[in-house]
Chains A and B, each alone.
Chain A
Amino acid sequence: MASEDFTQAPRPSDSVRGLAQQEQEDRSTMIMKKEETAIVLSLLKSDLRPIEDVLSEFNSKFSRPRHFIDLMVLRGTDRLIAFAIIYHCYSSQKPSVNPFVSDMINAACNEQLEMSERAFLLHLLQWNSYNNANEILKQSAVDYTKSFDPSTHDFPELGELQREYGVKADPGPSSHIFAEYSLNKLLHDPDVPRGCDPNSPEFDVQAGGNFKIGSGDRDEAISGILSNLTIGGFGPRWIRPFPPRYPVHQSELLWIDPDNKHELVWDDKMCADTSRGATVRDLLVKGLKVTLSPTEQEVITTELANDPKLVYHCGITPRKLPQLVEHNPQIAVEILTKLINSPEIADYFTALVSMDMSLHSMEVVNRLTTAVELPKEFIRVYITNCISSCENAKQQDKYMQNRLVRLVCVFLQSLIRNNIIDVKDLFIEVQAFCIEFSRIREAAGLFRLLKSLE
């Protein structure tokens, strides 16, 4: 095939891509083994056998086609057989599925090729009246060429064929621009002198003859190509820099510190006196009902001071707190102060806020504010409750109401003077309260205090 001109730039994608049948499952077998190469080569050479026989032998030798021949090196009848094999491999499918269909079409329209070859291709492609491919395949390649009568054939335009077989169809899912633009990997050695016709017998190896410079064996070239060719083209390559390794920070290396020896612990509460704090507990139960005597209070205070954890075991739960507050406010303050770090302290505060207002509860809150830091929200809610209790006391007893109002006023003044509350937070509420009860002296006093702070 001297007619292929390598001085022209090969056109990407349309160029003769080699005959590659992709078999994705296993790329490592893409390169033919030596024996396989020999078989294919011998098949291509069997131009005297009916092509059908050649095809069936090809089938029997290779379970699935995966071979490729570069057409430009082949000539004459070899090409016919090669095309027949290609066609045969895909005969069960539509021609457009055949990846080599564009090569076949190009060849069929190539005016420089033998008429017989072009007609043969048109038969394979089953173009219009060319429909006796099966007949032709019964002949041997040589017979076909000999019996070929060019006068009975007309050849279509390239465009016509391309339209028919949809050569420009989707290139396939895995294609991307690098693959699409890849070139045929096989390169005609530009060092072979231009104009040297490989078909001329001059440079063929002469049997037994002397070795001439420039002589070469076509079969050797074919087998070489066959055994080296893999699918995939030759395209521009992209440099993909390797990501740098993340530097080792000094603290990444682990400096080990000897641990403390964490030992197993003996439980010394075993069979221990469960009466721990029993006196206090009993006294406190009593304290829920009646006011305790100063001596009893003294006992509780001392015991609680001696054992800082006793408070958690003394049996005063949030539910019982209101009773204790009513009867023994001082003890309640003592206990709440000690419980301030308890995870349950919020429950105690809730109990305190939701109990009925009384002198004692206010006393407890007032004393707590000086002893510990109370949550702001708690104080705010407590004051609001105080005020609304005063308002609700109206229906009951005027005397009681006055008393309560005076208590609340004194309580609020104390909080303000001790900087426990920020007046701004409650200004409007407290002011309204003062105005409502302005008839009471303490309320007027509180009002003046508010004004002075303004």
Chain B
Amino acid sequence: MDSRDSVSSDSTARDDDSVVLSVTSALAKDALSYFQSAKFAECIDILNQLNHMKPQDPKILHNMAIAEYFKDGCSNAKKLLESLNYVKKLSEELAAAAKEQVEAANPGTNVSVSKDQFDSTVTTLNIAVIWYHLHEYTKTLSILEPLYQNIEPLDQTIALQICFLLLDTVRPCRDAVKFFTVFDYMEKAFGGGFGSQEENGSTMQLSSNQVSKTSSLLSSSVASDTLQSDLTAAESSLCEETLDYDNVLAEIAAEKRMKSVGPIPANNLLKTLSERSILSVDLKLELLLYKVRFLLLTRNLKLAKREVKHAMNIAQKRDSSMALHLKSQLEYAHGNHRKAIKLLLVSGIQKDAGTSGIFNNNLGCIYYQLGKYQTSAALFSKALRSCSSLRKEKPVKLFSLSQDKSLLITYNCGVLYLDSGKPILAAHCFQKASLVFCRQPLIWLRIAECCLMAFQKGLLEEGNTSSDRSEVKVHVIGKGKWRQLLIEENGSVELAVSAKWPKLSLPLARVCLSNGIYLLSGSLLNGSKSDLQSTLSLEMKETKEASSSDHGEANTNSDLKETKGGMNQAIIQNSLSAFKDINSRENQLLKQALLANMAYVELELENPVKALSAANSLLQLPNCSRIYVYLGHIYAAEALCLLNRPVEAGAHLSPYLLGQDDFKLPFVQEDFDQWRVNISFDCEETWDSSTGNARDSVPLKPEESRGALFVDLAALLATQGHYDQAKPLITHALTILQNNVQAMVTAVYIDLMLGRPQDALARLKQCSRVSFVPGRLDVRAS
């Protein structure tokens, strides 16, 4: 069997087919043009004809599904998804069958067959698009990954679309590494030929497979005087602090007179794509905007500023709303809140129903940073309202669904509620948002904090606090050869498995904290915060490494080659590695917080063994903040007391001893400031603690912490019978913590043990937090 034979038979078959082919391809063209002019019924008619001629052709079925979806007013995403999944399966089966057939006909040889016919890339991409719009980012990513692995042979349009979708999918999870990998590839693959083409204004011809159904939402005909009315509407919803807002408005109005606001956004790369061609300038702008996003993500504000300027220059003649919006974000990150507000308003995104929620949310973020929490809350809830109105739109369009950012806004609300001391509402928000952020350790810490705050405020339901039914307890009784284990059966309550979130409780806090610690240990190992690392295949990592090593070599050249605003791989690489450093530092801080909370929760749940191990791991962390070192020691000491190991407990307190009976401050106020700044920004420009997040969420004061050391050591000594040593300590403690119940009780105890009930009673009488309750009236036996 010669392969030549098969080739010749192939070509004769091709001749026979050519008539049919010309008919079908003409029909296909008609279908496309109907589709592009939104005549879906006609389009489907033609597709039906085609289907008749070539039954079970996956591509016809695919386009039919798409056209039907649009014909139904984009209302049935579920049906579309089902059809697409069917098409995908079908093309895979056909491809496999075709391969088998070829191999059977030509054993040993590898006859060239165009794979196009059964290629399911477009179908797969569309499935990913649907999941993306449904906010299922993990799923989207898992579908896109394999496409990205094999992106090289794909047509440019499809490749671009895959890349942009990947970037937008990775962004909500702040996976800078992944973002960079994709972005870097795009710059290499699509960003290369700019220079000369740009000057000619030439266009890059791209194939015409883009749906042209976008314009309805973004009408560019918004008159600029609607700005004022919009703002007044926004203003009326703000309950207070309108004064500031007024000022800003006035400034805006003044500025508007100076320079007319550019046309309102209609620019969107993919819309332009639908017009069959893409101006390379547009692509360049788009890539630049993503670059700015990357730099903002990695907090390289300096470079971001430069790139944004560059983007503004390009965008000037066209639509600059995105660039303005990014500039606003930049100023926000810099702490120039007024400027950020101005830019946000000028960007004009508030005018569109789809993006007004985003506008309100971002404005809410700015007001939060300004310390105007009520305004911020009002803005967030307004943002949520506009999102829910998007959801209620009939019929529900896939695209409006993706504009519904309520999960992200809900997270912001959670932060705000937690700040204003409403743990139950806050937890509700975080739990909703966990759909997107469940792989971020921080959200677990926040939910645990909600539990703890509710516990502190006595909002937990009875029975949740003391008897912990989520674990089996095994008591160790006796020592040495007499050691026995006593298993206590408690009737366990499953916390994590149930679909519904359980009520706030300390056991829930424990579960959340251990989730956080688990996620953190994973991401610390990987050296990055990549939430989606698990879906990264090995190959992906290799490409990443390969590409980064490329840069290493290219560095020397690129510095020379670099033109203004051009690519500068070295700087990008640096900002990526700087971001990794920031990340690992933040993760360290986060880990300290998680472990300290864990130790506290375990103590509250009467589980000293686990509390001790959490406290010990906290103390073993490198570069631990002095605040957490203190907490680690004091929790460990208490756990050791509960385990009847008073000597070791004492060893935890003794580092703070000054001489025999005095304590130094375990930490100073500056430690707190440093802690907050560390976590807050490290932009060198302006971090002003007065305008920053100055709301003190921290009840821990250095002096009080010192007092606690006195009380605890006194208690420890008292249990060992050293009342005389304990006495001066507790007296000292009471001068620091005048109204502390624990200190008072310990003092009374010591008085009693020293045989001075009079003193004890006097103490009780002095303390304002003691009430003498009269006995109940006579209950004589009847």
Chain A residues packing against B (C-beta within 8 Å): 6-10, 12, 27, 34, 37-39, 41-42, 45, 170, 173-178, 180-181, 183, 187-191, 217, 219-220, 223-224, 227-228, 234-278, 281-282, 284-285, 289, 309, 312-315, 317, 319-320, 341-343
Contact = CB atoms under 8 A, between A and B. Distances in A.
Given A261-B268, A274-B114, A282 B782 contact: no
Contact of B293 (A228, A257, A289): A257
A345 B449 CA distance: 52
Please list the 10 inter-chain residue pairs (A to B) with the smallest Cβ-Cβ separation, ordered nearest first: A315-B112, A312-B153, A42-B781, A236-B715, A270-B59, A271-B24, A237-B742, A173-B475, A239-B708, A271-B28
A108 B650 CA distance: 40
28 contacts: A7-B755, A41-B780, A42-B782, A176-B644, A178-B719, A181-B718, A190-B761, A223-B778, A227-B776, A227-B779, A236-B719, A236-B746, A239-B742, A241-B705, A246-B445, A246-B593, A250-B681, A256-B361, A261-B399, A263-B274, A264-B398, A265-B210, A266-B35, A269-B116, A272-B28, A284-B112, A285-B112, A317-B110
Nearest to A273: B25
B627 interface: yes
B125 interface: yes
B197 interface: no
B279 interface: no
B596 interface: yes
Nearest to A375: B546
Contacts of B742: 237-239
B63 A267 contact: yes
Nearest to B209: A268
B116 A274 contact: yes
A124 to B, nearest CB: 25
B687 to A, nearest CB: 9
B187 interface: no
Nearest to A8: B755
Contact of A177 (B24, B398, B646): B646
B475 A241 contact: no
B776 A309 contact: no
B754 interface: yes
Interface string B211-237: 101100000000000000000000000
Nearest to A221: B775
Contact of B405 (A251, A256, A276, A281): A256
A21 B51 CA distance: 84
Contacts of B130: 264
A343 B752 contact: no
A220 B775 contact: yes
B63 A270 contact: yes
Contact of A10 (B164, B209, B325, B752): B752
A39 to B, nearest CB: 8
Nearest to A27: B466
Interface residues of B, number: 175
A263 B149 contact: no
Contacts of B708: 239, 241
Interface string B561-599: 000000000000000000000000010011001001100
Contact of B164 (A180, A243, A244, A262): A262
Contacts of A267: 59, 62-63, 122-123, 209
Contacts of B608: 176
Contact of A238 (B399, B604, B641): B641
A260 B269 contact: yes
Contact of A243 (B155, B593, B782): B593
A265 B122 contact: yes
Nearest to B335: A250
A281 to B, nearest CB: 5
Contacts of B66: 264-266
A343 B151 CA distance: 9
A249 B679 contact: yes
A442 B513 CA distance: 72
B753 interface: yes
A254 B152 contact: no
A262 B165 contact: yes
Contacts of A34: 776, 779
B210 A266 contact: yes
B60 A271 contact: yes
Contact of A266 (B113, B209, B478): B209
Nearest to A310: B153
A343 B213 CA distance: 34
B357 to A, nearest CB: 8
A442 to B, nearest CB: 32
B11 A309 contact: no
B180 interface: no
A272 B286 CA distance: 31
A284 B7 CA distance: 11
Contacts of A312: 152-153
A392 B586 CA distance: 61
Contacts of A9: 752-755
Nearest to B599: A243
A241 B25 contact: no
A252 B442 contact: yes
A243 B604 CA distance: 12
Contacts of A170: 477-478
A356 to B, nearest CB: 19
Interface string B172-210: 000000000000000000000000000000000001111
Among A39, A189, A245, max chain B CB count under 10 A is at A245
B345 interface: no
Contacts of B11: 278, 282
Contacts of B642: 176-178
A248 B152 contact: no
Among B60, B209, B332, B476, max chain A CB count under 10 A is at B209
Contacts of B396: none
Given A240-B638, A262-B402, 5 more contacts: A248-B415, A262-B133, A266-B63, A274-B114, A315-B113
Contacts of A251: 299, 333
Given A266-B210, A267-B62, A237 B757 contact: no
A126 to B, nearest CB: 27
Contacts of B355: 258
B628 to A, nearest CB: 9
Given A41-B779, A243-B452, A263-B274, A270 B57 contact: yes
Among A38, A220, A236, max chain B CB count under 10 A is at A236
A265 B211 contact: yes
Interface string B390-405: 0000000011001101
Interface string B88-131: 00000000000000000000001111111101001101100110
B168 A263 contact: no
B408 interface: yes
A255 B28 contact: no
B102 to A, nearest CB: 11
A156 B369 CA distance: 78
A314 B110 CA distance: 12
A27 B411 CA distance: 39
Interface string B731-743: 0000001001111
Contacts of B478: 170
A235 B4 CA distance: 98
Contacts of A38: 779-782
Nearest to B484: A173
Given A258-B349, A266-B66, A284-B112, A187 B631 contact: no
A276 B449 contact: no
Contacts of A258: 322, 325, 349, 354-355, 358, 403
B126 A264 contact: yes
B294 to A, nearest CB: 12
A260 B270 contact: yes
B329 interface: yes
A85 to B, nearest CB: 16
Contact of B270 (A177, A262, A313, A317): A262
